[in-house]
Amino acid sequence: MTLEKAREIFGQVLLTLKEFGMVNFAVILAGVGIFVKICHLYPTMAFLPGRKSRKTPLPKGRIIGHRGSCTEGVPENTLMSFLDAIDAGCDILELDVWLTKDKKIVVHHDKSLARMTSGTCTADITDLKFSDLPDIYPPLEQRHRIEKVCNRYANGLPKLGIDSDSMWKKIPTLEQVLDAIPDSIGLIVEVKDGQDDMCPLLHKTLKSRSKVRLDNTYWFSLNDSIFNRLRRQDPSIFCCTPLLNIIRVVFLYMLGLLPFIDVKCDTFGIDMRAVTKDRVYNDVIFESVPSWLKDILIFIFRGGGGTPYIFLHPKLYSLLRKRGIPTYFLGVNDIKNLQIAIKHGAAAVLTDKPNFLCSYVKQNGVSFIDVQTHD
């Protein structure tokens, strides 16, 4: 938009206001403000949309291991990382899935294999067959506890035919992960792959498992197209909220319109990481967003080097809880962010450091909002 065009539009707006009458405009504006305030004060009025009672309660996990224990000295998204997180005290695990060339669902975060092989393989995981996937050679921060955890699992996983070295060197299939962890442990599956076969194959894999496993599993995608496909595939499987939907919910709340909108998700996630230019410009979520709009988002969601202030609304979280939607705080890797999460009513937290966080929570008697709590 040119400067001349912007001036023309602004002039037309002023002319319209003059014709309409500033007093009339002020009255309408005041009415809208009163309406918004009433919606904030009474957000659960009986005639407004709510959530129907769940047939199955949500998993009651409190601490979510992000890719297992991904920054505590063992390779992320491996059997070793997941079991290490469970041993630390995590009751939910988060992982990422892709499809290999021969249609195996594998657990890996990046599409490229470069980061987790220290550059020895730069192929995309979708271009290789499962049998051709390279061994993992992780970054420095994911190596220093390998030997210690290997000693804990000196015999590997005999029932699965997996030795201790393969627990950290090999990219696992989703089936292997499901076999290795108890069904009682919650699971959040983030779908990275947009191939047409992914959703049906993932659904088939999950449905082949026990009811306990299915009741303890969420799936979601940060990609809106994939997310919508998951919802269409099976609406009964619990779903986490993608980022753009979170932003939408926050703005609807601030405008006083959220009480009139049905929030179609099972959990609400608040990312504790700072919104930086590097994140916005390099995150695939925003790849289709024009640069000028990215700059506006950075300005709006800046958090002074921490959690964006615009996301921190305890009344919003309370309103969502009354609809049966708990708030999970993501990226909780230090005591400060844990305290913020607890203060604002966290039902659970996702962390890269489960050994540190679980120990702190246990030693200090930290308590979380119950998933089923209604204020």
- Continuous segment of H or E residues that includes residue 268: strand 268-271
The answer to whether residue 40 is catalytic is: no
Q: Helix or strand or coil: residue 105?
A: strand
Any catalytic annotation for residue 109? yes
Whole-angstrom Cα distance, residue 326 to residue 14?
Answer: 44
Among candidate residues 108, 109, 313, 344, the one labeled active-site is: 109
Q: Who's near 262: CB < 8 A, 6+ residues apart?
A: 49, 50, 51
**Residue among 238, 117, 235 nearest 171 (CA):** 117
CB-based contact 294:281 (threshold 8 Å) = yes
Which is the catalytic residue, given 66, 108, 313, 344?
Answer: 66
- In terms of Cβ atoms closer than 10 Å to its own Cβ (0-12, 13-18, 19+), residue 134 is middle
Cα-Cα-Cα-Cα dihedral sign, residues 123, 125, 127, 130: positive
User: Tokens representing 89?
Assistant: 């005290």
Greatest Cα pair distance in the chain: 82
Angstrom distance (rounded) from CA 248 to CA 311: 11
Inter-CA distances, 124 with 117, 209, 364, Å:
12, 29, 44
Instruction: Label residue 124 exposed, middle or buried (CB < 10 Å: 0-12, 13-18, 19+).
Output: middle
Alpha carbon separation from 232 to 13, 203, 225, 249 (Å, rounded):
42, 11, 11, 21
Tokens for 73, please give them: 């000295």
Number of DSSP helices (H) and strands (E) in the chain, helices first:
15, 9
CA distance 42 to 21: 32
Active site residues: 66, 109
